[in-house]
Chain A
Amino acid sequence: MHEINLVADDPKNEGDDSGLSRRGALKCMVWAGTGILWTVSGGVPKSLGLLGDALAAVPTGFSFFQISDSHIGFNKPANPDALGTLREAIGKVKAVKFRPAFMIHTGDITHLSRADEFDNAEQIISEAKLNVHYVPGEHDFVDEGVGKAYLDRYGKGTKGQGWYSFDDHGVHFIGLVNVVDLKAGGLGRLGADQLAWLADDLKDKSASTPIVVFAHIPLWTVYADWGWGTDDGLQVLDLLKRFGSVTVLNGHIHQIVQKVEGSMTFHTARSTCFPQPAPGTAPSPGPMTVPADQLRSVLGITSVDVRIGDRPLAITDTTLAE
């Protein structure tokens, strides 16, 4: 069974930049600060003591980052400097002492799908010098070509409106698109073509293959009144239920929400641009303006460390304020 766990220390790696040195790990723990570290054991989430448990874990050297909802082009009071906070987020990624395998971006790269917004985002994200696997958010498909701007950049080698899968370190990663051809009164939507592709993509995979699925809008219903769910998301979960380890990573709602159901773990990432209110706590899900000195405590990035073993799964979220 595979495990996704906190970035951790291996004393044998001291002085080796390719792994985590003890000093690096200590720095990393400082960096993790009050970031949410959680683990799931037997389907029951529990929090880990940050330092002790983390130092006791054994790294595999395979970790990746998730960033989300950078909304380049947004300039309203909730965050007049979307480029600046994205740069800070990428700075966090660059500052870690281990080498992430890659990064995923779970959509809303831009605010209005404009070429200059995509260009500016790309320029800053590329500073991480990591391979980046993107999926689009609805804001990346609002150009006149309804997604042409996004697909011209990130659609190579993908199917349909940009979905794909790949394998890394024995983990099967699936990037889904649930922001296109939405129906009146509905939520996010994958559509029959994508579901058929997914069924085919999974049919030869053994149940012991760890699966990581990522998409912009949550694949489960977080809050239907605000559209925070995917109409045909349950069909994805049905296709995945035979697998022993499934991790679902989403964005869209600009806050951390997590849940566990059997072998499936669901997690949404913070935005790098602006926060959104908790479900039902405001008249609408629009950008939430917080005092300027608090903004960075509600923006952030997510790191995931994957390793082989019988330990349960854990994901680390870190704010830009830490």
Chain B
Amino acid sequence: MAKSLSERVVASGIRAMLAAIVVLATLAASPALAADAQVKIANFTFDPPILTVKAGTTVTWVNADDIPHIVLEKDGKFRSSALDTGDKFSQTFSTDGTVEYFCAIHPHMTGKIVITP
């Protein structure tokens, strides 16, 4: 059975919206918009424990625990203040390599940032 004109208009509108969503999703995943990355601190773990980013990326740690944590580079090159629940700490990684860090007050919590050129 042939679709009515109005049904065809609606269908075409939905197709246009879907296309727009696909474009937006592609943009969000593109390297240009991925310059910021996040590590969630939850259940006394860094998530993801190993994060790979391009050089120049700013990584933000967000504490979702009811207990404060401190992000500390293994050799002390950077250190956050005590992050209470919801607090954030950001660090920009400009050169490639691997950065190891841990929680200064719960040192069994460890994580890595792998920076690619």
Contacts and interface: CB of A to CB of B under 8 A. Distances in A.
Interface of A: 76-78, 111-113, 138-139, 141-144, 179, 182-187, 224-227, 283-287
A111 B68 contact: yes
B98 interface: no
Contacts, number: 63
Nearest to A283: B43
B85 interface: yes
A225 B45 contact: no
Nearest to B100: A184
Given A142-B104, A286-B66, 15 more contacts: A78-B66, A112-B68, A112-B82, A112-B84, A138-B105, A138-B106, A142-B68, A143-B82, A184-B107, A184-B110, A185-B107, A185-B110, A224-B108, A227-B109, A284-B65
Nearest to A276: B67
Range of interface residues on chain B? 20 to 34
Given A76-B66, A139-B105, A142-B68, A184 B74 contact: yes
Among B66, B70, B74, B100, chain A packs the most CB atoms within 10 A around the CB of B66
Contact of B105 (A76, A182, A225): A182
Contacts of B74: 184
Majority secondary structure of chain A interface residues (helix, strand, loop or mixed): loop
B102 interface: yes
21 contacts: A76-B85, A138-B106, A139-B68, A141-B105, A142-B81, A144-B81, A182-B104, A184-B101, A185-B102, A185-B110, A186-B108, A224-B108, A225-B108, A227-B106, A227-B107, A284-B42, A284-B43, A284-B44, A284-B65, A285-B44, A286-B44
A72 to B, nearest CB: 14
Majority secondary structure of chain B interface residues (helix, strand, loop or mixed): loop
B108 A287 contact: no
A283 B66 CA distance: 13
Nearest to A73: B84
B26 to A, nearest CB: 35
Nearest to A142: B82
Contacts of B84: 112
Interface string B68-92: 1010001000000110110000000
Contacts of B44: 226, 284-286
A184 B106 CA distance: 9
Contacts of A142: 68, 70, 81-82, 104-105
Contact of B107 (A144, A183, A284, A287): A183
Contact of A287 (B67, B100, B109): B67
Contacts of B66: 76-78, 286-287
Interface in B51-70: 65-68, 70
